[in-house]
């Protein structure tokens, strides 16, 4: 039984026993058989639902089947006790030797413990993808953290992961950016700007001070040669320069959060090298694009609505509610068309599985994109929608007002509470649930701050290990029998399974909760030693017991560290 994931290993044993009792069960029945940790230690270490799942298809009584499983599994060397319980559960108590053997296994594997076997499967996680028109604001934060940690988690689970950022540098937004930069350019030259601004359709859209140095840089480089010139002389150059500077700024913001993408894909490059046509051609070849007229949205009645023939994608064939336009009335492509092409490009790079991490305001966009991917490749697109984050201080929502200058930019938040707290707390909720981000809790040095609590547990581990002498030779772990010690081991062996399950569900927040529970177990173990000196880790005259406990503490530190690594949170050595 070499599998790091003991639950998977035991599940294998259960299936063998089940096959002997009820031969020839269908694969989809067997797939529902699971071996899970028990909630109550009185139920042993693990439980399986095998008898209840198999009872009906095998035409047997679940309790009888459970009794049969107990008989077979009891003979297994790694199982100390098996018993039937409740409606047909089989509870398993592992042999102490097997349980204790997990400690040296963790110590040898170090942070690789819990690493899933390579799935030889590429997966692409796209996240952040904020428009390159300014610094990141707090609204981008959750997606950045969730996407980055999810990518780490998938990598931990054995996928070949690409972290990707889609740069929307082709649309009207970046043209507006270029025009705003032009105003700053004129200002840098001490030239009047009112006359120019009056000619811009939307006016000065990006008035933030962050564009001032960009305008100055362009003035320094080009002097006044673009002043008073028509757009077609300078627009392209200004756009390219500004986008490049914006992306530098965004990369800096992300770096401050510990987020680093492998690939930055340019929408403009895709458009200019014909990628949009290539992507759409795939759909045209399948007869999925046609000219038609959409019904008006029911009940809403836009006042300027009029029936119009346009190019549509047959997304309703793939689960969407209605077909979606790919071209605007002026003939240019919609954002959706470009995005179809972009996803086609990702698929074409050899990624069968795609994940987009988006803000909740893109919710209405999910079905059509999933339909497009299905149509393009038959592949799977998971969309993680991150709901709104409300920043709270002293029980009051913090106003996100540019004029008031409070907490607009992501950088403000990081400066206030630090990157570790931002990352951990963003993962203390499911992505699809709205959350309150409590600034007071984020900086608290108490249990109510999960980051602190987990880092403190790690610091305590390190504190013990610093005080201890490294044991030499084989360590005998059989002295670890106290309830708190056993609970600790039971938690540790859950880690490989948690990685697998959280990755499968695409739910990085589960790692944060696991770490919190793990830290809680460790603090309880620590305090058991405070109440009962015989349970302290370091025992002067008992080298065997001491070595065993040091091993347990070291294993705990390893799992804490590898979990924190998935979240991108720093495992601190001490908390002075």
Could you say which residues in the range 233-292 bind RNA, by CB under 7 A? 267
**CA 437 to chain centroid:** 18
* Residue from 25, 144, 186, 435 binding RNA (CB under 7 A): 435
* Residue from 62, 143, 275, 279 binding RNA (CB under 7 A): 62
Q: Does 8 bind RNA (CB under 7 A)?
A: no
Quick one: which segment of 70-78, 209-217, 241-249, 536-544 binds RNA (CB under 7 A)?
Answer: 536-544
Overall residue count recorded for the chain in this entry: 576
Q: Minimal distance in Å, beta carbon 186 to RNA?
A: 25
318 vs 365, beta carbon nearer RNA: 365
Q: Report 444-503 residues binding RNA (CB under 7 A).
A: 445-448, 452-453, 456, 459-460, 463-464, 467, 501
| Phi, psi values for residue 168, rounded to 5° | -85, 75
Site size toward RNA, by CB under 7 A: 107
Q: Which residues pair with 259 in a beta bridge?
A: none
Q: Does 534 bind RNA (CB under 7 A)?
A: no
Q: Are strands 353-359 and 324-325 parallel, antiparallel or unpaired?
A: unpaired
Residues 23-52, one symbol each (x = binds RNA by CB under 7 A, - = not), give -----------x-xxxxx-xx---x-x--x
Provide the 8-state DSSP code for 203. -
Q: Are strands 396-397 and 435-438 parallel, antiparallel or unpaired?
A: unpaired
Token code pair at residue 428:
């203390």
Q: Which residues pair with 161 in a beta bridge?
A: 123
Q: Minimal distance in Å, beta carbon 76 to RNA?
A: 18
Q: Report 133-192 residues binding RNA (CB under 7 A).
A: 168, 170-173
CA-closest candidate to residue 130, choices 143, 120, 118: 143
Q: Minimal distance in Å, beta carbon 52 to RNA?
A: 3
Provide the 8-state DSSP code for 40. S
Evaluate whether 343 touches 366 at the Cβ level (below 8 Å).
no
Q: Report 85-124 residues binding RNA (CB under 7 A).
A: 85-89, 91
Return the SS3 of 166.
strand
Residue 273: exposed, middle, or buried by beta-carbon count in 10 A (0-12, 13-18, 19+)?
A: exposed
* Residue from 192, 201, 230, 302 binding RNA (CB under 7 A): 302
Q: Does 543 bind RNA (CB under 7 A)?
A: no
307 vs 378, beta carbon nearer RNA: 307
Q: Does 201 bind RNA (CB under 7 A)?
A: no
Q: Does 414 bind RNA (CB under 7 A)?
A: no
Pairwise CA distance, residues 106 & 114, whole Å? 9
Q: Does 205 bind RNA (CB under 7 A)?
A: no
Q: Does 541 bind RNA (CB under 7 A)?
A: no
Quick one: which segment of 235-243, 284-292, 293-301, 563-571 binds RNA (CB under 7 A)?
Answer: 293-301
Token code pair at residue 22:
């009820």
52 vs 218, beta carbon nearer RNA: 52
* Residue from 134, 529, 563, 571 binding RNA (CB under 7 A): 529
Pairwise CA distance, residues 33 & 386, whole Å? 32
Q: Minimal distance in Å, beta carbon 525 to RNA?
A: 7
* Residue from 80, 191, 212, 294 binding RNA (CB under 7 A): 294
Q: Which residues contact 190 (CB under 8 A, 6 or more apart)?
A: none
Evaluate whether 178 touches 163 at the Cβ level (below 8 Å).
no
326 vs 408, beta carbon nearer RNA: 326
């Amino acid at each position: 039984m070499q599998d790091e994931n003991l639950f998977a290993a035991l599940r294998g044993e259960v299936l063998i026993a089940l096959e002997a009792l009820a031969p020839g069960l269908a694969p989809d029945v067997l797939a529902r058989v699971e071996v899970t940790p028990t909630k109550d230690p009185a139920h042993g270490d693990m439980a399986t639902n095998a008898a209840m799942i198999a009872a009906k298809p095998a035409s047997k009584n679940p309790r009888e089947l459970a009794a049969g499983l107990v008989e077979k599994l009891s003979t297994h060397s790694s199982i100390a006790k098996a018993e039937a319980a409740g409606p047909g559960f089989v509870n398993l108590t592992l042999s102490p030797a097997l349980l204790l053997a997990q400690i040296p296994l963790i110590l040898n594997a170090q942070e690789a413990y819990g690493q899933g076997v390579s799935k030889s499967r590429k997966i692409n996680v796209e996240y952040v993808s904020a428009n390159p028109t300014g610094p990141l604001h707090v609204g981008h934060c959750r997606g950045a953290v969730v996407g980055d940690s999810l990518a780490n988690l998938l990598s931990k689970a054995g996928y070949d992961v690409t972290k990707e950022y889609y740069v929307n540098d082709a649309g009207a937004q970046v043209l507006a950016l270029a025009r705003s930069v032009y105003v700053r350019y004129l200002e840098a030259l001490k030239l009047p700007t009112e006359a120019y601004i009056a000619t811009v359709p939307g006016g000065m859209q990006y008035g933030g001070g962050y564009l001032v140095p960009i305008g100055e840089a362009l003035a320094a480089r080009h002097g006044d040669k673009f002043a008073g010139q028509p757009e077609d002389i300078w627009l392209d150059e200004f756009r390219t320069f500004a986008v490049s500077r914006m992306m530098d700024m965004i990369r800096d913001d992300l770096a401050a959060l510990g987020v680093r993408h492998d690939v930055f894909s340019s929408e403009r490059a895709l458009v200019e090298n014909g990628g949009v046509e290539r992507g759409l051609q795939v759909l045209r070849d399948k007869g999925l694009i046609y000219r038609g007229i959409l019904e008006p949205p029911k009940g809403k009645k836009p006042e300027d609505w009029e029936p119009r023939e346009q190019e549509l994608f047959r997304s309703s064939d793939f689960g969407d509610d209605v077909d979606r336009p790919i071209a605007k009335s002026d003939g240019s492509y919609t954002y959706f068309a470009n995005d179809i092409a972009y996803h086609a490009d990702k698929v074409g790079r050899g990624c069968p599985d795609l994940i987009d991490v988006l803000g909740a305001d893109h919710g209405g966009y999910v079905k059509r994109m999933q339909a497009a991917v299905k149509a393009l490749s038959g592949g799977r697109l998971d969309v993680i929608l991150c709901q709104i984050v409300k920043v709270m201080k002293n029980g009051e929502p913090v106003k996100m007002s540019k004029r008031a200058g409070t907490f607009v930019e992501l950088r403000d938040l990081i400066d206030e509470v630090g990157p570790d707290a931002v990352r951990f707390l963003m993962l203390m909720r499911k992505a699809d649930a709205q959350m309150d981000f409590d600034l007071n809790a984020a900086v608290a040095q108490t249990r109510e701050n999960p980051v602190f609590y987990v880092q403190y547990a790690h610091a305590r581990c390190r504190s013990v290990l610093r005080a201890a002498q490294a044991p030499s030779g084989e360590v005998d772990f059989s002295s670890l029998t106290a309830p708190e010690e056993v609970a600790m081991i039971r938690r540790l062996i859950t880690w490989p399974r948690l990685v697998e399950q959280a990755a499968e569900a695409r739910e990085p927040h589960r790692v944060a909760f696991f770490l919190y529970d793990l830290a809680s177990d460790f603090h309880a173990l620590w305090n058991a030693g405070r109440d009962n000196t015989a349970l302290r880790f370091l025992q002067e005259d008992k080298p065997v017991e001491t070595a065993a406990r040091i091993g347990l503490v070291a294993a705990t530190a390893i799992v804490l560290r590898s979990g924190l690594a998935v979240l991108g949170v720093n495992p601190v050595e001490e908390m002075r």
